């Protein structure tokens, strides 16, 4: 797909058809996402794919404070777990007084949603989540952290692609010579 068309087509999808997502497609989306750059190539995260009946059980973990009610119909989720950055990255964080993990997770998330869209699969990045519930669901320590969860599935055939409303380029871009 032409990259601009991919960017224009990809959107947050909050309604999913009954069509299931194959385990192979979820694995391929995650494989492609691992090509994302990260600080010192440390890839300080792990990815979990939750699919099928387990996804229905998982949905409650992203329905915090009454949000994301539509998630009950979502056929799959990709969960991003926070990992430990490499020693060089930790040193850089101390010197520069910045944390690279949120940047790395943001880039990874963009790769996930674009890889999925390129495969004809829709997504929605979810920030509302119950981290302790997710840890329990995945059988991990309750201190585990999950910066984002991504809903994955197929939009219904009549789901509209919304027009992108963005600020004019001249408001946010300046060439410096």
Grade residue 113 by pLDDT with cuts at 50, 70 and 90.
Answer: very high
Whole-angstrom distance, CA of residue 95 vs CA of residue 172: 29
pTM of this structure: 0.93
pLDDT at 98: 75
User: Is 110 domain-assigned?
Assistant: yes
Which residue range(s) make up the domain with 58?
A: 3-172
User: Is 177 domain-assigned?
Assistant: no
Whole-angstrom distance, CA of residue 146 vs CA of residue 132: 9
pLDDT at 90: 65
Q: What CATH number has the domain bearing residue 70?
A: 3.40.109.10
pLDDT at 86: 66
For 22-53, write each residue's pLDDT tens digit: 999 999 999 999 999 998 888 999 999 999 99
User: Is 168 domain-assigned?
Assistant: yes
Grade residue 84 by pLDDT with cuts at 50, 70 and 90.
Answer: confident
- The DSSP output letter for 47 is E
pLDDT at 93: 64
pLDDT at 88: 67
Whole-angstrom distance, CA of residue 140 vs CA of residue 133: 10
User: Is 90 domain-assigned?
Assistant: yes
For 118-162, write each residue's pLDDT tens digit: 999 999 999 999 999 999 999 999 999 999 999 999 999 999 999
Per cent of the chain over pLDDT 90 is 86
For 151-167, write each residue's pLDDT tens digit: 999 999 999 999 999 99
Asked if pLDDT for residue 96 goes beyond 80, the answer is no
Whole-angstrom distance, CA of residue 134 vs CA of residue 149: 10
Specify the higher pLDDT residue, 83 or 172.
172
Q: Do you know the residue count of the chain?
A: 177
Asked if pLDDT for residue 87 goes beyond 90, the answer is no
Q: Are strands 122-126 and 148-153 parallel, antiparallel or unpaired?
A: antiparallel
- The DSSP output letter for 18 is S
Cβ neighbours of residue 123 closer than 8 Å, sequence gap 6 or more: 10, 12, 13, 112, 113, 116, 117, 150, 151, 152
- Number of structural domains found in the chain: 1
User: Is 91 domain-assigned?
Assistant: yes
Average pLDDT, the chain: 94
User: Is 123 domain-assigned?
Assistant: yes
- The DSSP output letter for 108 is H
């Amino acid at each position: 797909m032409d990259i601009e068309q991919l960017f224009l087509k990809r959107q947050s999808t909050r309604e999913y058809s009954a069509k299931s997502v194959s385990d192979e497609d979820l694995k391929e989306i995650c494989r492609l996402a691992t090509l994302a750059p990260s600080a010192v190539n440390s890839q300080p995260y792990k990815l979990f794919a939750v699919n099928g009946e387990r996804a229905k059980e998982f949905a409650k973990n992203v329905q915090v404070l009454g949000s994301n009610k539509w998630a009950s119909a979502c056929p799959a989720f990709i969960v991003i777990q926070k990992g430990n950055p490499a020693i060089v990255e930790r040193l850089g964080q101390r010197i520069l007084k910045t944390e690279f993990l949120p940047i790395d997770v943001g880039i990874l998330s963009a790769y996930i949603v674009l890889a999925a869209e390129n495969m004809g699969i829709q997504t929605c990045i979810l920030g509302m989540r119950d981290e302790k519930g997710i840890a329990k669901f995945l059988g991990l320590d309750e201190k585990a952290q999950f910066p984002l969860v991504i809903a994955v599935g197929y939009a219904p055939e009549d789901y509209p692609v919304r027009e992108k409303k963005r600020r004019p380029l001249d408001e946010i871009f300046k060439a410096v010579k």
